[in-house]
Amino acid sequence: MDSSPVNSSFSSQSYDELTYVPTPAATEIETGAASFLTAGSLSELEHIIDNCPIIDNHAHPLLTEQTLGVYETSGLNLLKCLSEANSDALGDVPSTLVYHRAFKSLQEGFLHLRRGPGEVNTWEDWKSFRSSLDPELFTRECFNGLQTILLDTGLKYPPHEEIKAHSVPWHNKFLKSPAKEILRLEYIAEEEIKIQQKFHSWEAKLRDVIRKAIKDDNIVGFKSVVCYRTGLCIDKDDHTEESIIDAYTSILTSCKEDSWKLSHPRLNGFLLHLFAKEMTRHVEKGGKAKPLQFHTGLGDSDLRLKDANPILLQQFAEAYPRVPIVLLHAGYPFTREAGYLASTYANVYLDFGLVFPTVSQEGQESIVKQVLELTPSTKAMWSTDGHHYGETYYLAQKQVREVFKTVMREIYGKRNISLRNISNIVTDLFFNTSNRLYNLNLGLNIPTPLYHDSFEMAGAEDELEHRGRTGLKILQDFLAKNPDVEYLRLNWLDYSSILRTRVVKLKHVITQLEKNSNGSIIGVTKAALFILANCTLAEGASPCGEDRLVPDFTSLRLHPHQKSGQDRQNHATVMCWIQDPDSHKTVALCPRNILKNALIRASDAGLSNFKFGFEIEFCMFKQSDLDEGKIMPITTHHTWTTSRSLQTKALDILEEIDLRLSEAGIEIEQFHSEGAQGQYEIALSPLPPMQAVDGLIYTREVIQCVCAKYGYRASLLPKPFDNECGTASHVHMSFKPVEKQWNFFAGILENMRALNAVILGGEMSFERIVPGAWAGGIWACWGRQNREAPLRLVEEDKAHWEIKAVDGMANMYLALAGIITAGTKGVIERIDIYGESDRDASLMTAEERKRRGIKTEMVKSMDEATAALFKNDGRTPLEFSEQMAPGFARHMKVLKKAEKENIYSQFIDPITGYIDIPRRRAWAAQWY
C-alpha cells in the first residue's frame, strides 16, 4: 500500500541523532563511520576542511542581550567585529575589503533565517535584522562547527559597569564539548592590588590563586596582556625585593581608579616570573603543564606595535622551558618572527586567530602560508578571538575554512605533499594541537562525506595507487572473517533499474587488484547501462568500446545466496563504479557518479547531513504461477496492518529476512502487512545517500533470495491489482540546515515534471499515480502529514519529509540524485515554497488550486516525463537535466522509448490495440 493512514514508519529519533551501523567493510576504511580523517581526493579534503570541528583555543564570552544596547550606545559598536580601530577611526571601516567581504557573508549566510518582508542592504539593515532574531538561534548558527571554546574571562569594560558578559557554562548549550576557562594573570593581579595594601600579602595571594588555578580542571590555561601594558620585552628576574616593593607602593593610590591597569615594568615582569616559577615547580613534581598565552601583534590603539613583536619573548621562552607559551594572533604583522620561535623552541606554539576576520582575504592567505613556512602543524593552532558579538565567531570560522581550501589546494598542486599529509595538517591546526596542548582529551569526529568515493582521485601517483591498495586491504580483512567466500559479485544498476551482475572468481579479483593500481577488476561493454531486459540495445548506445568495473568496497557484504543443502555463504557482493579505462575517472552517466556529483553541488550550496530511509513495499507471488503468466499472492485474506496477514508463511519469510539483514549490518525498524493482496512493507533506518541506496539494493537481494527459498517471488510491481493500492518505495529524507528546507522542497515542486522521469521507473508506474490511492496524488504540492500530496512534511524541526511518488522500478541512485539536484536548485535560486495542501488537491476547484499556488500537474506517461527533461523546443535539455549529467536527458528519452517499443509492445494486440495487462504484470513481476 502506498502509505499507511497513520504516522510514518520512521521514528523521530531516526532523523535526529542518527547512529550509523557500518557494514563490515566500512569499519575497515573508516575509524568508525563517523570519523573520516584522511582525504583521498580534493573534494574529500574540502569536506574535511568544512567539517572538522574546531577547538577555539582563544576567545571571549558573548555579551548578554540586555548589555548589547548599552554596548552600542557607549561607542563600542558592532563594527568592532571587523576592526581593532577605536572611536572615530571606526567610521572608515565600511571602506575596507574586510567590511565588504564580511557584510556579503552575513547577508548570504543568514538569509534562511529571514522571515517576512525586508531586505538586508545596509549595515543598519543588518543591525535591525539581527535584533529581530531569536538570540539563541542566532548564537547556535554562529557557533556551528566549534567543538569547544577556551574563554578568556578577563576582558572588562570600565567605566561601563552595566556591560555584562555571559558566564563560561552558558556557552555550553551551543557546543559539542563544555567550554573551559583561560585565566588572565593581569586581571587577578589588579583585583588583588585593590584589596591588599602590603606587597607580601599581594604576593602570597597571587601564589595561592595561581596554584589553585593550576589544579582546577575547568581552567586549562593562562593569558597575559603584558603586550598592552609594558610590551613584550619582559624585565629580567633580577630586581631586588626592595625595588619591587617600591614599585608596588608607587601604584597604591592610582590603582583605586576605575580605568587603572597594571602597567609597571617591574611589577608586570614580577607577575610573569612568579607564574612561570609556579608552573615549572608544578611540572617538576609530575603535574601537567598548562600553557601561558601572550597577546602578540596587532591590537587596538592602547598597544604600541613595535613592542608587540613576539621575538621580544625569546629570552623569557628560554628561561622557562617547562612552560608552554602560546603566541596569539600570528604575531601579525610579525608572523615570520613568531614562526621562528615556534619552530626553534619546544615550548613555543603559534596561534593564528584574530586575523580572521580583521584582515583581508589576500592577507589571510599570506598569513596562513607564513605560519606554515617554519611552524610544524603540531605546534600551530587556530582560534576565533571571538568576543562580544556572535558575528565574530561566525565570520572567523567561515573565512578560515574558505582560506584553508585555497591555500591547501595550492600546496597540493605543487605535488610535494600527499592529500593524506595535508589532511593531517588541517586536523592539527583545527583540533589536534589544541587538544593535546590544553590536555582536553577530546575525540575528533568528522562525518563521512555524503559523496565519499575513495576511488575518485585527483591524479597524483601516490593517490591513484590508493584505489587498488585500499580495495585489496578491505577485501583481505573481509576474507579473514569470511573464509568460505569463493566468488565476488560485481554489481551495477542500469537505466532500466535492472541489477546487472558479474560473478568473478576470488583469485582473479585479487590478481587484478594487485595488478591495477586504479582498482578496476573486469571490462564491460560501454553499452552496459543501456541494454534492455530482452538484450535489445537502446538507440544511441554503442556496442563498441569497453569500460571497467571498479568495486566500491565500502559496500562489500556477504551475498545471501547459499548452496543447496548448505548453510555457508560462498558469494560476496559489492556495488561498482563504471570507469573509463583511459582517464581512470568514473564515466559521467554512471548512476552512482551522478548521485555523488549531486551531493557535491549540494555541499557547495551549504547543504549537509543528508539522510535517506526507504519504505520497501513488495508483494509475494508464487513463482510457479508467474512462470505460467499468472499472479497469485501468498495470501488473499489480507489488508493493511493485520495479524491475519501474518498467519501464513509470510511471517517466517519476514523474520528470516530480518535475520539475514541484521547479520549484514542493516537494521530494519519494523515490518507489517500493506493494503494490497500479499503486500508487505519493511522500513529501513536512514543512512547517508550512497550507503542508503547500496543498502536498499542489498536488502532487495536478501528479500528475493529468502522468498525464492520458500517458492515465492518478491515483486516491486507498482500496480499488481486493479482497485487496490499500489506498491511504492517511499523515500524519507532529512538534511541540514533545517532552515533551508523550504527553498529545497520548493525546488522539487518547481522541477517535479522532469523529476518524474527518474523517480518513476517505467510506463507501468503511471497506473499507480492516481487520485485517492495513497500515492501522493496527481498535483505537485506539499502538505503537513498529507498523504495525498507528493511531498509530505513529517517533522518540520528536523527537515524530515517524505517523497511519495517514488516506486521500486526507479533506479534509486538516479532518483536520489534528481531529488537532491532539484532541491539544491531551489536553495541556490532561493525559490519560496508554495502549494501547501491539506487534502487531495484533485478534489479542489481550479480556482482554489490557483489560490494555493498549486499549478503543476504530474505527468501521465513516461513519454511526458522524458519530454519534461527538455525545454519547450524538445531538443535543449533543462538545466536540471544537464546538472544530472551531460547527455542524461537524451539517453533517458531514447531508453524509455526503447522499453515501450521493444518490451511493452509485446503485450498489445497490433490490430485491436488491446493491452493484456495481467500478462504484462506477470512479466514485469519477474523483473521488478
Q: How confident is the model at residue 457 (pLDDT cuts 50, 70, 90)?
A: very low
Least confident range of 59-68, 286-295, 484-493, 631-640: 631-640
May I ask the CATH architecture of the domain 454-585? Answer: Roll (3.10)
Q: What integer pLDDT is reported at residue 452 of this predicted model?
A: 45
Average pLDDT of the residues in 327-352: 96
Q: Is 636 left (phi over 0), alpha (psi -120 to 50) or beta?
A: alpha
Considering only the C-alpha atoms of the chain, give the largest distance between any 2 of them, rounded to a whole number of Å. 118
Q: What integer pLDDT is reported at residue 72 of this predicted model?
A: 61
pLDDT tens per residue, range 511-545: 888 888 778 888 888 878 877 777 777 776 667 88
Could you tell me which CATH class the domain 48-437 is placed in? alpha beta
Neighbouring C-beta atoms of residue 499, cutoff 10 Å: 17
Mean pLDDT of the chain: 83
Q: What integer pLDDT is reported at residue 547 of this predicted model?
A: 87
Q: Answer whether residue 76 shows pLDDT above 70.
A: no
Q: Which amino acid is at 522?
A: I
Cis peptide before 737 (omega within 30 of 0): yes
pLDDT tens per residue, range 714-728: 877 777 777 777 777
Q: What integer pLDDT is reported at residue 15 of this predicted model?
A: 39
CA 468 vs CA 38, 340, 423, 463, 675: distances in Å: 17, 41, 21, 10, 48
Q: How confident is the model at residue 112 (pLDDT cuts 50, 70, 90)?
A: low
Q: How confident is the model at residue 873 (pLDDT cuts 50, 70, 90)?
A: confident
Q: DSSP for 167-182, please give it.
A: -TGGGGGGSSS--EEE
- Residues facing residue 49 across a β-bridge: none
Average pLDDT of the residues in 412-435: 91
The better pLDDT of the pair 339, 46 is held by 339
Q: Is 544 left (phi over 0), alpha (psi -120 to 50) or beta?
A: beta
Average pLDDT of the residues in 781-786: 82
Q: What integer pLDDT is reported at residue 18 of this predicted model?
A: 32
Least Cα distance to 399 among 351, 344, 352, 466 occurs for: 352
Please report, rounded to a whole number, the percentage of residues in the chain having pLDDT higher than 70: 88
Q: What integer pLDDT is reported at residue 718 of this predicted model?
A: 78
Residue carrying C-alpha cell 572473517: 481
Q: What integer pLDDT is reported at residue 726 of this predicted model?
A: 73
Q: Answer whether residue 24 shows pLDDT above 50.
A: no
Q: Answer whether residue 745 shows pLDDT above 80.
A: yes
May I ask the CATH architecture of the domain 12-23+595-927? Answer: 2-Layer Sandwich (3.30)
Q: Answer whether residue 17 shows pLDDT above 70.
A: no
How many angstroms separate the CA atoms of 315 and 536, rounded? 82
Q: Answer whether residue 5 shows pLDDT above 70.
A: no
Please report, rounded to a whole number, the percentage of residues in the chain having pLDDT higher than 90: 37
The answer to whether 112 and 740 have CB atoms below 8 angstroms apart is yes
Which residues, 6+ apart, have CB-to-CB distance to 905 below 8 Å? none
Average pLDDT of the residues in 742-751: 92
The grid coordinates of residue 617 equal 513495499
CA 368 vs CA 45, 373, 409, 431, 789: distances in Å: 17, 9, 13, 16, 51
Q: DSSP for 494-528, please give it.
A: -TT--EEEEEEEHHHHHHHHHH-TT---EEEETTT
Average pLDDT of the residues in 769-795: 75
Q: What integer pLDDT is reported at residue 2 of this predicted model?
A: 55
Q: Helix 42-51 vs helix 591-604: angle between axes, to the nearest 10 degrees?
A: 40
The better pLDDT of the pair 179, 8 is held by 179
CA 605 to the chain's CA centroid = 12
Least confident range of 50-59, 445-454, 483-492: 445-454
How many angstroms separate the CA atoms of 385 and 59, rounded? 4
CA 837 vs CA 3, 231, 768, 786, 787: distances in Å: 17, 68, 20, 7, 10
Q: Give 244-250's long-range contacts (Cβ < 8 A, gap of 24+).
A: 244/199, 244/270, 245/199, 248/193, 248/199, 248/202, 249/199
Neighbouring C-beta atoms of residue 543, cutoff 10 Å: 9
Q: Which of 233-247, 270-284, 485-499 has the highest mean pLDDT?
A: 270-284
Q: What integer pLDDT is reported at residue 117 of this predicted model?
A: 54
The answer to whether 85 and 109 have CB atoms below 8 angstroms apart is no
Least confident range of 101-105, 771-775, 879-883: 771-775
Q: Answer whether residue 20 shows pLDDT above 60.
A: no
Q: Which of 184-188, 617-621, 701-705, 795-799 has the highest mean pLDDT?
A: 184-188
pLDDT tens per residue, range 897-918: 877 777 777 778 788 878 777 7
Q: How confident is the model at residue 773 (pLDDT cuts 50, 70, 90)?
A: low
Q: How many CA atoms lie within 13 A of 7 on its CB side?
A: 6
Q: Answer whether residue 495 shows pLDDT above 50.
A: yes
Q: What integer pLDDT is reported at residue 661 of this predicted model?
A: 85
Average pLDDT of the residues in 818-837: 91
Least confident range of 215-224, 612-621, 878-887: 612-621
Q: What integer pLDDT is reported at residue 11 of this predicted model?
A: 40
Q: What integer pLDDT is reported at residue 781 of this predicted model?
A: 81
- DSSP H helices, 577-688, are 591-604, 623-627, 649-663
Neighbouring C-beta atoms of residue 809, cutoff 10 Å: 23
pLDDT tens per residue, range 148-173: 999 999 887 655 666 788 999 999 99
Strand 292-295, strand 219-224: pairing: parallel
How many angstroms separate the CA atoms of 700 and 61, rounded? 53
Q: Answer whether residue 729 shows pLDDT above 70.
A: yes
The answer to whether 685 and 698 have CB atoms below 8 angstroms apart is no
Q: What integer pLDDT is reported at residue 907 of this predicted model?
A: 72
How many angstroms separate the CA atoms of 551 and 467, rounded? 9
| Residue spans per domain, the chain | 12-23+595-927, 48-437, 454-585
Residue 643 burial class via C-beta count within 10 angstroms: exposed 0-12, middle 13-18, buried 19 and up: exposed
Three-state DSSP class for 561?
coil
Q: Answer whether residue 454 shows pLDDT above 50.
A: no
Q: Answer whether residue 469 shows pLDDT above 50.
A: yes
Q: Answer whether residue 479 shows pLDDT above 90.
A: no
The better pLDDT of the pair 77, 270 is held by 270
Which residues, 6+ apart, have CB-to-CB distance to 472 below 8 Å? 510, 513, 514
Phi, psi dihedrals of residue 216, rounded to the nearest 5°:
-80, 120
Least Cα distance to 563 among 658, 487, 660 occurs for: 487
How many angstroms separate the CA atoms of 554 and 574, rounded? 8
Q: Which of 18-27, 445-454, 652-661, 690-699 has the highest mean pLDDT?
A: 690-699
Least Cα distance to 429 among 393, 355, 378 occurs for: 378
Q: How confident is the model at residue 775 (pLDDT cuts 50, 70, 90)?
A: low
Q: Answer whether residue 127 shows pLDDT above 70.
A: yes
Which residues, 6+ apart, have CB-to-CB distance to 293 below 8 Å? 58, 152, 182, 221, 222, 223, 224, 325, 326, 328, 351
Q: How confident is the model at residue 566 (pLDDT cuts 50, 70, 90)?
A: low
Q: How confident is the model at residue 481 (pLDDT cuts 50, 70, 90)?
A: confident
Please indicate whether the domains covering 12-23+595-927 and 48-437 agree at the CATH topology level: no
Least confident range of 107-116, 396-405, 575-584: 107-116
Q: Answer whether residue 69 shows pLDDT above 70.
A: no
Strand 348-351, strand 325-328: pairing: parallel
The better pLDDT of the pair 294, 927 is held by 294
Least Cα distance to 422 among 806, 874, 40 occurs for: 40
The better pLDDT of the pair 467, 799 is held by 799
Q: What integer pLDDT is reported at residue 451 of this predicted model?
A: 46
pLDDT tens per residue, range 350-401: 999 999 998 999 999 999 999 999 999 999 999 999 988 899 999 999 999 9
The grid coordinates of residue 425 equal 595538517
How many angstroms separate the CA atoms of 258 and 253, rounded? 12
Q: How confident is the model at residue 921 (pLDDT cuts 50, 70, 90)?
A: confident
Three-state DSSP class for 267?
helix
- Residues facing residue 150 across a β-bridge: 180
Q: How confident is the model at residue 331 (pLDDT cuts 50, 70, 90)?
A: very high
Q: Which amino acid is at 703?
A: I
Which residues, 6+ apart, have CB-to-CB distance to 457 below 8 Å? 40, 41, 463, 464, 466, 467, 584
